[in-house]
Copies of this chain bind each other. A is one copy, B any other.
Amino acid sequence: MNDQLLLKNIRNALIRLEETIIFSLLERSQFKQNQPAYAPGALGGVFGTESLVEYMLHETEKIHAGMRRYSSPDEHPFFTDLPAPLLQPLRYTENPLAENSVNVNGELLQAYTGTLIPALCAPGDDAQYGSTAVCDVACLQAMSKRIHYGKFVAESKYQGAPERYDTLIATGDRQALDAEITDKAVEKALFQRVANKAASYSGMFLETHLAEAFQTTVTDIYRDIIVPLTKRVEVDYLLAAKR
């Protein structure tokens, strides 16, 4: 099996991404909710119908696309109208995934704006829209990467039992596929580990009640957004993969 598909390697990558996600959420939590930064078209002019955060994300993705970020199989853009890479293509170690175009960033952005920000940040407006948007881009990119790693997880599981999966895929039974990919013990350990990390990192510099609130929020984000979207990617990928 391709090294990138060894569950041990995937798990190490996902565990390391927990730090990236928790750090970026901690950074975002410094600022208030700043709802005007998420209002479509609220800033008018050059932003058009985009919110300030969407504009920042879009412009950032244009630069990163130039750096060939989205030619890597573990990166997925939020926007589709991005320029071609300015850099020569990398000789990537062989892409171990089957051909697919699964991308749940639309759902992620919606959950981020609608659920995550109100849970993570104090209500109100501190006018730090630029800093807010910079943090949002970092959070969204880290979470997107983590969620779309589901493709590697799914491919690894598939290759471990192709016949069993082929049968489920043929029926198109999403619920059965979801049950097949789910490991409740792993999920439980994940939530516990993330809760511990969130408490430890934030506890080093936030007051106790703020660190406790952050711990709860991060655990909720994993349980309500990151894990469900990762599993959604796994199932979508299994159903969409052209073999």
Binding site for B on A (CB under 8 A): 15-16, 19-20, 23, 26-27, 30, 43, 45-47, 52, 56, 59-60, 63-64, 66-69, 86-87, 90, 127, 129-131, 133-134, 138, 197, 200-201, 204-205
Contacts and interface: CB of A to CB of B under 8 A. Distances in A.
Contacts of A201: 201, 204
B45 A130 contact: no
Contacts of A20: 27
A66 B134 CA distance: 13
A67 to B, nearest CB: 4
Contacts of A45: 86
B130 A43 contact: no
A201 B45 CA distance: 43
A66 to B, nearest CB: 8
A23 B131 CA distance: 16
Nearest to A58: B63
Given A16-B205, A23-B23, A23-B27, A67 B52 contact: yes
A189 B121 CA distance: 31
A26 B90 CA distance: 25
A26 B19 contact: yes
A90 B23 contact: no
Contacts of A30: 16
A129 B30 CA distance: 29
Nearest to A69: B130
- A-B pairs, top 9 by smallest CB distance, nearest first, are A67-B130, A23-B23, A59-B63, A69-B130, A46-B86, A90-B127, A19-B205, A200-B204, A68-B130
7 contacts: A43-B87, A52-B87, A67-B129, A67-B133, A68-B130, A69-B131, A201-B204
A86 B129 CA distance: 13
Given A19-B205, A52-B67, A87-B129, 7 more contacts: A19-B26, A43-B87, A46-B66, A56-B67, A60-B60, A67-B130, A200-B204
